Structure 1
Amino acid sequence: MSKKISGAEYPLAKIFSSDFDYAIPSYQRPYAWTEVQAGDLFADLYDFFIKEKDDTYFLGSIVLIKDEGKPHAEVIDGQQRLTTLTILLAALTQLSTGNIRDAFHRYLCEPGNVLESLPQKPRLTLRERDRVFFENFVQGIRLRELIAQDAAQLDNESQRNIRLNAKLFLDKLEEKFGGDAEGLTKFGGFLVQRCFLVAVSTPSQQSAFRVFSVLNSRGLDLLPTDIIKSDIIGNIKSQDKQDEVTERWEELEVQTGRDGFAELFGHIRMIFAKEKARRTLLEEFREQVIKKYESPETLMSTVVEPFAEAYLIAKKCQYLSTTNAADVNALLKWLNRIENSDWLPSAIKFLATQGKNADYVLWFFRKLERLASFMHICGYDVNQRIERYASVLSELEGSHSLEAPISAVDLGPEEKSEMLQVLDGDIYLMTARRRNHLLLRLDAFLGDGAATYDTGLLTIEHVLPQTVAPASGWQKLWPDEAMRKRWVHRLANLVPLTQKRNSKAQNYDFDTKKSAYFGGKHGVSSYVLTTQVLNAASWTPGIVAQRQADLIDVLATRWDLK
């Protein structure tokens, strides 16, 4: 029997129909999309919905083990998208009423049909550990009850991600549409009719994994930069000049790496367009960049070469100067730790034009690092980030200097206030990357700047544990449950540890926990934040409140938030 591979592009109305009955195999990793990925997806979808009235939106591909003509589909690749889209559809169902609610709900659950022998059941079945939880709260449209759950009491990180993303989608939909039921319905119609996935199916597991490997391989297919190279160099009339520019081009590609070179051209497009890409890089680069230069040689010498050099400095943290170089490169290292690269176009543009002014470079990157950290820690989505950086790029087009610096890279009073409010909130409930970045940045502010951090070994431990046993030392120190809930997830109660140590940590009383886990065999820690706790005689509400005030003051001072 032939193992036929088939693939087709389907709207979500078809993807979430009786033609597919999705099951996530137990060997798949847990649901891992955080608010960052879910927020970026929603921002992209809403932006496209508002600005593109006719075009279709491509959501990527999924790979399934599926017999032709049968709905059962084992998901080999695509569970993160299918799960997240299911949560979004559940949020739309939650906010709708009557026939519209019923219509949305049919994308979540097969209503069943006796005549077609179709039983009632969810369209997507998660791994066994999360199956009942997902069916109960998400496919059962009990998102309000889900959000009311204590995140710390949920079974695993997957369930916490589901809860956070359900809350995010409900909040975003209510923010964008409020009581506008018609607008909400139109957005839902856009989602199921104009958003497409490619479903690749094969009845063989071996074949499915081969397809998955091919789709995720890093081969040397033709990149947009290869065609851009042809556009630019092909228009140079002199063969000698062509050879010269080709040699310079290929040298830059070697220095940046093939993928890095492609990334660079995306950043160059952003520098010129100052808005999110709506078409392919090739189309937009031709329109936004190439058309503005009559001479290919000028484009090469004034854009490609200086921007490539600036890109390498920013990515590799290799700013060179007799003054300020170490401080600038330290700031670049922190910028590169942020999980998005939306700051890079501003850095590239500034370094390409002002890189020789070391004092101004240091001033700018202090501001840029703070701006990038602000948006990262406060959970800004991709559209908010791009819009904010666009104002920086616009101002960089004009005349500016250290004596008359640009103002857009600075935080305004409302932004400073917003950041202070977030810093004083439940830090542990942030996504892991956001809270880890904040804790390590704070630790560096407290130290001498010489420490290096391996985020692969980092975990965050509560000093006052999340669960306090009756008659324990913690119960005596913190008898008020409301007080414990107020402080347990905040900055003062969190310490960074290596993963090895954290794996042993238990809910021991303070002295035992401190000596056994925080300090290890030698009673010291690599982290200043943790060493401070080691030096504390006790861990009472008063001590934690004072520590919170002290730590917030350090952040406010070093980031100039006052």
Structure 2
Amino acid sequence: MNLSTANENFRQLVGHNVTYSIPPFQRDYSWSEENWEELWFDILAMYSGEEDAENEHYMGYLVLQDSDNKKFSSVIDGQQRITTISIIVLAALNHLRILISKGIDPEDNTQRAKVLRESYIGYIDPITLKSRSKLTLNKHNDRFYQTYLAVNSEHIPARNLKASEHMLRKAYAWFGSRVESKFGFEDNSGQKVTGFIDSLVDKLFFTVITVTDELNAFKVFETLNARGVKLSSTDLLKNYLFSVLSSDDPHDSILDDLESSWEYITGLLSSESFPELLRIFWNSKNRLVRKKDLFKTIQKSISSKEEAFELVRDLEVNSEIYANLRDPTSNVWNVKEKEALSQLSMFGVKQPMAMLMSAYRRFYDSERSTFTSILEAISVISFRYNVICSLPPQDQEGLYSSVAIKIENRELSSGQGIIEALRDIYPDDAQFSGAFATKQLKTTNSRNQKVVQYILKRLGEKISMDSIDLTTSRYNIEHVLPQKVKSGWDDFSDVKHSQCVYRLANMVILEKSLNNSIGNKSYPEKKLVLSQSNVSLTKNLAERYDKWTPETIDSRQLFLAKQAKGIWRINSL
């Protein structure tokens, strides 16, 4: 990896005769008062005069991408911090301007302002009166920053601003009021505020990581993120994808169009979901790529603006598919599809997403029933493979991706052929019923509670023709052998209790009104309450079993396992 690292303070950073630019499609300025306050308190702590005060403040990582001439660097990560420090310097410059306007040491303060500006901000062209800044913000923020904060700070507009411009204006005013409060309008205020800034730039340290291309920047990001450093993956992905598109100064209309596509995608998805979309989308059309190799692979595949433009457009379309696949309540789904997607969400199964994305593109509009049958089959496979048999999920992803590519290439063109291609991850009846007969699901977390309710509901529908509406708050899960045993359970040693309490056979769906009175009572007492339930499968347990022992639980779960293999089944496999 071609990179260099160095620890540098802000003075060193801006003193290299290098200008820094935030790429056009990096996120806008977004720091809020909470961030400003935290930084300001850290700064003041260095000047508290206390014996244990820190002599410097660590600002974290600054990831830069160098240009060929070494006089220009793109800020890949750290734009919020470097922008905020510049605003603090600009607030100090504004305070010097106010001192000068009040006639307080005007000659010296004018010279001080000139030195501070040229050292840390840039200079103002004497002819155009425009700032030649050491820092250029992104396309949404730079005009406001250069025009008002860096040059014409006496007349900063407060209306008709973008949200991020409002944040820049507020930051400038917030730090301005802190500088004014700290240094006031005394005869020596100019000297003090200048000395403060000149000292501060030596005390704010970064770990500067300089790379030569976006791929290396992403590798750095991954390494830092793995070590707990909070960086924005969405920002980095954005910079990576648009770097090809924004080279050679394309027309603003092209960049605006591309940005519109990007904003549409990020509007649908969170920053955490975006990298997952990219991986699933890629694996739905190409050979399976692991997360660590994804960006290297994409970089090799994108060699022109046309290809990059096509990728972003394709992502825009597929982001909507992905968002809908993650949302079972979306109105694009019919009843059967909503049910299957709700089950996948409840199971926490994500491995089929690339294949489902391919199947959606291929069948949703032209052969809707085929798509529905594939989705229902995936739900059954996931229940058998992931929920009950607890087989390695990583073994699934490769097969799902290969089937996705075959759908994309029209090598698999029928629903039956696609389902048949998944046979290797469909546990047969013997394996499934064997795993079901011993299955435990610890109901101490909400996901398992929902899964157990779902299983018991489906079993009740098959065995007793029960119709239970779990969307109401009327029911919950009752553990026949209580989770905490007091007395009346002599057949269960501590070991046997831990082995039996979360067995599926030991759990029933029960009305809350009855469950509130049952507590940790003995089985004979519970039996009387269970027999009053309107849930047939629960009532039948009380009628069928006079005693509740480890052997009883084994017997009941074997019975349930036989029923289960007929419920969660793909007849063609």
**TM (normalized to structure 2)?**
0.48
Which has more radius of gyration?
Answer: 2
**TM (normalized to structure 1)?**
0.49
